[in-house]
Each structure stands twice: as C-alpha cells, then as structure tokens.
Amino acid sequence: MKLGATVSVLALAALGSAFALPALADVTIPYNEYSESPTIGRGGGTSTDPRNPGYGALKIFIEKVKDYTDDQGPDALPPGHKVIFERDQKTGREISALRAGIQFANKGAEKKFAEPSWGFAYNSVPFGMRFEQMLGFLYEAKIEGFGGNGIALAQSLLDSRGGTQVVLPVVGSTMQGSGYFPQPIGKPDCNPGDTECASQGSGIGLAGLCQSGWRIRYLAPPQDIVDRACDILVKRGVIAKKTLTFYPPVGGQSVLLPMQKRTIQGFEYVNPYDDFADFFPIKGAAPGVPLGNPELGPLDCSPAQPFPIPAGTKSTCTQNIGQIGGRYAHHPSWHQPFLVSWMHIDKDLWNGLTPAQRAAIERAAKDALVESYKANESVECARLKDILDINQGVHQRNVDGSRRIVNGKPVSAAMTLARWPDDALKVLQEATNDYLAALAGPAEGKTPAQQDFTRFYTALTQYAKGIGATKFEPGTFPAKSGLKAGEQCRLVK
C-alpha cells in the first residue's frame, strides 16, 4: 500500500442532508471508507487502543472531533455544535488529486484531476523522509515564495485546479513491508535447521527478481520504480531481458486471493499489524495457543486461476502467505517509509461550520495524526513476531492443499525476514530519481500536472536539505518500540 497504498482512496462523501444542516445544529458528516485495515482506516472500529481487536486508527480522529466539539470542559462549544463523522458505505467514491490514503467529503466530485497524480508524495516519497520529518514539513515549513506550510501548499494545489475540498492529514501509519516473495532478494535470516532457506545463500538479488518470471502485486509508484530498475539492468547488460510482470489492483479483491490461486507469486501491502490481520487466518486458537494451527481448516485452494481473476471471485481456502510459498518478508521499506491518510471535506460544508468548529476539527486532525502513528508504531514489533512465529513447524502446500514436496522433503512455510541488498537499493534509488524527474517533466513546456509536482517536490526537497534529511535512513524495521514498554524492537538483525 502504499505507496504501496498509493491508488487507495479513503472517500468521505458528504450527503446532501449534511449540507442543509445549519451551523447551530449538530453536524453529521457521512464518509465512505476505502479500507478496513486497522492502521490506515477502520473509522467504524470499536476501540482506539491498538491492543484491542476492534482498533481503528481513523477512529482516533473521529473520537477527537466529537470530544473537541462537545459542550464539556474548558474548550467547550455551545450545545448543538458537535461534529460527528459517520461511516456510510453507500456513498460513491470519486477521484482526488491527493489520491493515496484519502477520505473524501465531496459534494458531487465531478471534477477529475490530471495524471500522474502528485499526491502520493504527501504520503511518503520512496527513499524519502521519515514520518517525524514529514510532520515538520506539514506544520512548520516556511516554504520559499509561498508563505505557508506543507498543508497550505496541498490546499493551494487543489484550489488551483478548481478543487472543491478542504484537506487535512488525520492518520499516521508506520513504514510498510516491501514485499513477500517465494525467494529472498537478499540474504535471509534463516531459522536453525531450515535447509530450504539455507539453500538460498545470499538471495537472488535484484537481477534475479527482474528475471524471475513472477507476477507480483506492487502498486504505483513503487511498481513503476521496480520496473524502471529492471530496465536499468537490461540497459547495462546485467540481464538479457525482464520477465517480471505486475498484477493490477482489483477493487474489493484481497491480494490474498490471487496468492491462494497462484495467479501471483508475491506482493507488498501495508505493515505487520495489518498484514497479520489480513493474510494469516487464526484457526483453532486456544489458551496457550493464541496463534492457533494454520494446518486446520480448508486448505484446498484449487483450481489455480490465470490472470486476470474476475472481480467478485471469493476465496474458498485458508492457506496463509507462508503456506502459499511467499515466506520471505522483505525490509527496509524503501518504497514507503510511512503513510499519511488525508481527509477531504467539501468546502460548502466546511464554510457552513462555525470558526470554532473548524478550529476544533483542525486540532483533532493534528492530534490524531501524531497519536495514531504512535499507537500503530507501538504494536508493530509484536505483530511482526506473530508473523515470524505462526508458521513454525508448518509446511508449504500445493494449490490443492497437498503438501509441497521438493527433493523428497516437505518445504518449510515459516515466515523469514530478508533484506534488500545494498546494490539493489542503489539501483532502486536511481530508478526513483528517474521516476521523480519524469513527474517533474522538462524545464520548459510542463503540463499542469508536471507544474504541480515540481512546485510541491521543490518545496519538499528544500525543506529536507534545510533539516539535513537528504540521506535515506529507513530506521529499524518495522518499529522502534519493542515487545515490552521501553524496549527496542530487536527482531531484525
């Protein structure tokens, strides 16, 4: 997601009834949520505690808006001024210039914005700044020749296209995993006695990925960057040709389905918390066995299906990612060092609120952005441990559920960390620079989209230079918080 979430859109669609409400009445804003993933959405969750199964990061913002607009406490608003964001999946999705990680409150939303979208960069640039540094750009930057911060620049870019929305960042999520593959790109951190893992040596490298013949789900722009990196290797004669291909996103279709059907061989998604929830079904959990037994349940995923799998196809089995074969989980998160989800609120609705209501929503957005990131970060190490533990002693399966046998022996399904080699990261960073230059376009004769991207990326680059954030520093994947309070996460060697 990803960027990995790059095409994903959290859509807040304001219904007509919301616009008819006067400012002196409680205001309900229906929104259409694009993702149930706990760390980037789930506004309809039951808890703001990431240790609770009902946790939703967007729920933090929704609850803060309620609290900041009620008639209690020192910052109380008059009775009848509460603002409530209410999930309503019947409202339609539309297109946004900030397409990645967004929720729309958008009346009509007929205007479409030029592509390529520059909005992914507001959610994190590949090989770019860390979340804490991006916070500074959003709230503190003094952008040369503009007179506002990063949020004001985003608003200005939307306004220049006739945008109908006010935009606010509301959810912060941690760096994402950079790929589950059937072979490691770099040297894997093998478990003792894992002969299949040991046979992988130092991994297949970027050249091996480009020549793997795999089809993977890697969303744009990371897909574009991996594709360009492979082209660089072909151009330099490192490989004869590129055989890696990509599977496009299918609305409403979990990436687990094409893995189970063997239509794809690998993918990137979000982070350990969301990945564990979505790709590792818990079966037969009991006291003392909280992760259950992956070998229970329906394991027959047949028949295998070629590309494309029709929309609406349902999964019929419970094989998890490791049982399918995608057992190597990669880091660092070069493609998405963090994710920021944005909320788009229709200007007519926004202008109909009182200044106090607007100030309260802005305050809730900033507080929720920071709090949700800290909440998400605090549990990522524990979820990564769950991923690494769940398939211990479990073996891979064929599509029909039978055990996969290689050289007369079953193959381990144990999830194993692997790192992108430094030489691969170097080529991927070169491809990233080429991709960003293509978005900026030529020095003269830029398209409107290229002008927008250049304006934004110039400001971001100047800010990064000003704070000394010009070198890629991915940090400790996937989080610094350990399994206990105050610990560092030491699962990655």
Question: Helices 222-235 and 422-440 meet at what angle, rounded to 10?
Answer: 110
Q: Tens digit of pLDDT for each residue in 450-480?
A: 998 999 999 999 999 999 998 887 766 767 8
Average pLDDT taken over every residue of the chain: 87
Q: How far apart are CA 202 and CA 212, in angstroms?
A: 16
| pLDDT value of position 20 | 39
DSSP string, 52-102: STTB-HHHHHHHHHHHHTSS-STTPPPTT--EEEEE-TTSPP---SS-TTE
| Interior angle at CA 67, CA 62 and CA 73, nearest 5 | 170
DSSP string, 362-403: HHHHHHHHHHHHHHHHHHHHHHHHHHHHHTTT-B-B-TTSPB
Q: How far apart are CA 443 and CA 314, in angstroms?
A: 49
Q: How far apart are CA 190 and CA 299, in angstroms?
A: 25
- Tokens in use for 396? 């891979």
Instruction: Count how many residues are written for the chain.
Output: 493
Q: Who has greater pLDDT, 395 or 109?
A: 395
Average pLDDT over residues 103-121: 52
| Boundaries of every domain in the chain | 2-175+338-378, 180-334+381-428
H-assigned helices in 1-53: 2-5, 16-19
Q: How far apart are CA 111 and CA 67, in angstroms?
A: 34
Q: Tens digit of pLDDT for each residue in 134-157?
A: 999 999 999 988 989 999 998 998
Q: How far apart are CA 84 and CA 346, in angstroms?
A: 15
| pLDDT value of position 186 | 97
Q: Which of 438, 476, 372 is nearest to 101 (CA)?
A: 372
**CA 469 vs CA 136, 434, 454: distances in Å:** 12, 20, 19
